[in-house]
Amino acid sequence: MSRSIALRDVSKRYGRGSLAVERVSLTVEPGEFLVLLGPSGCGKSTVLRMIAGLEEITEGALYLDGEYANHVPPSERDIAMVFQSFALYPNMTGRANIGFPLKLRDPRGDHEPQVEATARMLGIEDLLDRFPGQLSGGERQRVAMGRAISRQPSVFLMDEPLSSLDSKLRTHLRAEIARLTAELGVTTVYVTHDQSEAMSLGHRVAVMRGGVLQQVSSPRDTYALPANVFVAAFIGTPRISLLQAVVHAPLGAGMWIDLGRHRLALPQPLSPDHQLLRIQQGRPVIVGLRSEAVRIAPPSQARPGEVAMTGIVEHVEYQGHEALVHVDTGSRPAVVADLESARQPAARPGRSLRRQQSGLGRLKARAVERLSGSVAVLDAPPESPQGPDAGVASERLGAVRSDLVVRTGPHVRVRVGAQIPLLVDLAQLYVFDHAGQRVSPAGDGLAPLER
């Protein structure tokens, strides 16, 4: 039996600190595999622990199968948790570890068949009589998983269960977790900071930043229709290139996006997505280009919907099956706040912007930021380094100043320092407003966040 989990405006404050989780609303359907994804410190574990009943809910409501459950003791929630650190009893065999929850529930019963069945499901029949000290990391994690599933809970909560394993094992166990949870049909909430893990496992992915839910959608929509620049930059390798730009749409004179050195003229008649850009006329925006949206080719080879630009090759990264060409197109990259860690202070606005903004302008900017949860920092060149190392640091910063990454076949032949022709596929162009919210493409299919 699996059940639904619903959070309604759930917030968490530890002591007198700021909110670790802020008004999260989220429904996990029975049997669904939902992944909570975000950088370290964004509140993922806190959400999970509130569902488990290990952490008190400061504000808001938790429903298990539609029933208000804020104060239901953890032991009565029928939830099993798997953590990153395998909490196995070192002086018990695998068999005893897996059977332990069953024994707790029914001390006299014969649990051997259940333990054996669980072990078969996990392919660890041969390891049952070993102690944790005699098992490898992956084997220990499988026994821990066995202990979690042996008593057939109705909800699984997994908190970065694979993050201490090496990458090959991680990929392998990831597939097993997907198979196992599908087989059991148990509602699962899985926490990770690894976007590729999230994309490969989740029926839906819930992206968090600084305690706030940004987007809940299928892996496909999370990649194709990111709600804002934070989600766009967090999902996908290599990271999406984000460039500062200005939209120009003079009456009767077409529309183009000014990237500084280059202009991207939008083809006429404007597509419905490009028409959405009209209201951004004259305003700073952020253009997002994934590495597959640009190719290296001369203007003469442009297909309909492609526009030409050029760039200087800064660096080539060979990946075996492909190569990533880092290019400097002369645009200014946009900075995304909180990308690596939610508690990292946002980059400060550059001096020029600070001077331009009057007191009122600053107030307005702050109000906009609070309303829309600004995730982008425009006009923020790297702070000029100070102190004795300043020269070295600025040289290092200046070493690779690519603003665009282009994905190509592995046999590409380009020379670092050379100028190369590029074709941008405008159908794959993202435009975000100055606060970082997606403007185009519209993506009508994307369900709004629950309120």
Ligand X SMILES: Nc1ncnc2c1ncn2[C@@H]1O[C@H](COP(=O)(O)OP(=O)(O)O)[C@@H](O)[C@H]1O
Minimum CB distance to Mg ion, residue 340 (Å): 15
User: Would you say the C-alpha torsion 192, 198, 202, 208 has a positive or negative sign?
Assistant: positive
Structure tokens at 39: 């950088």
CA distance 284 to 349: 14
What residue 20 binds from Mg ion, ligand X, none (CB within 5 to 8 A, per partner kind)? ligand X
Residue 55 or 433 with smaller CB distance to Mg ion: 55
Pick 193 or 326: Cβ nearer Mg ion = 193
- Residue 41 contact partner, candidates ligand X, Mg ion, none, CB within 5 to 8 A by sort of partner: ligand X
Quote the least distance from Cβ 20 to ligand X, whole Å. 3
42 binds, among ligand X, Mg ion, none (CB under 5 to 8 A by kind): ligand X
| Whether the Cβ atoms of residue 135 and residue 94 lie closer than 8 Å to each other | yes
Closest Cα to residue 22, out of 210, 184, 281? 210
| The pair of three-digit structure tokens given for residue 248, joined into one six-digit string | 């120009």
CB-based contacts of 442, cutoff 8 Å, min separation 6: 272, 273, 276
Residue 429 partner contact from ligand X, Mg ion, none using kind-dependent CB cut-offs of 5 to 8 Å: none
Which of 45/228 has CB closer to Mg ion?
45
Q: Closest residue to Mg ion, Cβ-based? A: 45
DSSP 8-state class, residue 349: P
Q: Which of 436, 432, 282, 278 is nearest to 372 (CA)?
A: 436
60 versus 349: smaller Cβ distance to ligand X: 60
Per partner kind, with CB cut-offs from 5 to 8 A, the member of Mg ion, ligand X, none near residue 107 is: none
Say which residues have a Cβ less than 8 Å from residue 68's Cβ, sequence separation at least 6. Answer: 61, 62
* 50/294 with CB nearer ligand X: 50
Shorter beta-carbon distance to Mg ion: residue 192 or 280: 192
Q: Which partner, Mg ion, ligand X, none, binds residue 43 by CB below 5 to 8 Å per kind?
A: ligand X
Q: How far is the CB of 62 from ligand X (least distance, A)?
A: 16
Tell me how long the chain is: 451
Strand duo 256-258 + 241-248: pairing:
antiparallel
Shortest Å distance, C-beta 159 to Mg ion: 6
d(CA 406, CA 240): 10
Tell the smallest beta-carbon distance from residue 310 to Mg ion (Å): 44
Q: Of 271 and 341, which CB lies nearer to ligand X in the complex structure?
A: 341
Positions in the binding site for ligand X (CB under 6 A): 14, 17, 20, 38, 40-46, 343
Instruction: With residue 101 as reference, give the H or E element that holds it.
Output: helix 94-105
Which lies closer to ligand X via its Cβ, residue 124 or residue 342? 342
Which entry of ligand X, Mg ion, none binds 441, CB below 5 to 8 A by partner kind? none
C-alpha 441: how far from its chain's center?
19
Minimum distance, C-beta of residue 163 to ligand X, in the bound complex (Å): 11
- To ligand X, the closest distance from the beta carbon of 47 in angstroms equals 7
Q: What is the DSSP letter of 405?
A: E
Q: How far apart are CA 53 and CA 379, in angstroms?
A: 44
Q: Which does 236 bind (CB under 5 to 8 A by kind): ligand X, Mg ion, none?
A: none
- Residue 236 corresponds to which tokens in the numbers above? 């996908």
Site residues (vs Mg ion, CB under 5 A) = 45
**From the list Mg ion, ligand X, none, which binds 68 (C-beta under 5 to 8 Å, kind-based)?**
none
Q: Of the two residues 17 and 133, which places its CB atom closer to ligand X in the complex?
A: 17
CB of 159 to ligand X, least distance (A): 7
**How far is Cα 21 from Cα 272, in angstroms, rounded to an integer?**
37
Please, what is the minimum distance in Å from the beta carbon of residue 13 to Mg ion?
17
Distances (CA, A) of 56 to 10, 14, 84, 188: 11, 9, 21, 21
